[in-house]
């Protein structure tokens, strides 16, 4: 019974990951020889589960989820990225903001990313990002921005990153640059 339950949970887990495009799933033909499978797997990180081949996408071919200070500056100048600051409004008043960012507190990210674009503009004062647009989340120290990133990914957003240094690194770097 325990083995049967484990098998069902594993299959469900595989289906959920596949439905969220977290993994690439290929149904293998039953007549595939070991040699053909071995040739197919050459240089392809994968796991075989029963007659299903799970291919893991390597992070080396994808952009990193972490954005450096320098990269964030370039993204802000280019105007191709929406920067969402997930701190609370009182934190923005007390510490400051990254110019060009939109404030959406962490507790509201899930609902905000499901609003109609007009509602998003009215409530948050900035353009709502599309599911395929570059989004960078920021917070005070990089913890809440990672949570916001996970929320966005669960909602189907594909090009999401977070500034792991957060406001602390931004303020420190901006202060150093303004002294020069």
Catalytic residues: 139
Q: Give me the mean pLDDT over the 129-146 stretch.
A: 94
175 versus 165: the higher-pLDDT residue is 165
Q: Do 128 and 110 contact (CB within 8 A), yes or no?
A: no
Is residue 122 scored above 50 in pLDDT?
A: yes
Condensed to tens digits (0 to 9), the pLDDT of residues 60-100 reads 334 579 999 999 999 999 988 999 999 999 999 999 999 99
User: Which residue intervals of the chain bear CATH 3.40.250.10?
Assistant: 69-175
Mean pLDDT (the chain, rounded):
77
| pTM tops 0.75 | no
Closest CA to 85 of 163, 159, 151: 163
Looking at the domain covering 69-175, what would its CATH class be? alpha beta
Give the percent of the chain with pLDDT over 70: 62
The label of the residue with tokens 């509602």 reads: 119
Which residue has better confidence, 69 or 13?
69
């Amino acid at each position: 019974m325990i083995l049967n339950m484990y098998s069902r949970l594993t299959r469900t887990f595989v289906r959920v990951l596949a439905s969220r495009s977290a993994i690439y799933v290929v149904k293998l033909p039953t007549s595939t020889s070991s040699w053909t499978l071995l040739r197919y797997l050459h240089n392809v990180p994968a796991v075989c589960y029963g007659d299903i081949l799970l291919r893991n996408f390597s992070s080396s071919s994808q952009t990193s989820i972490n954005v450096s200070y320098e990269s964030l500056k370039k993204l802000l100048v280019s105007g191709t990225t929406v920067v969402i600051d997930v701190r609370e409004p009182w934190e923005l008043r007390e510490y400051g903001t990254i110019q060009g960012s939109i404030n959406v507190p962490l507790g509201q990210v899930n609902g905000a990313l499901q609003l109609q674009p007009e509602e998003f503009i009215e409530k948050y004062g900035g353009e709502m990002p599309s599911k395929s647009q570059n989004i960078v989340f920021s917070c005070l120290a990089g913890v809440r921005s990672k949570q916001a990133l996970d929320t966005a990914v669960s909602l189907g957003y594909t090009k999401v990153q977070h500034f792991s240094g957060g406001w602390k690194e931004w303020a420190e770097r901006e202060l150093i640059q303004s002294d020069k």
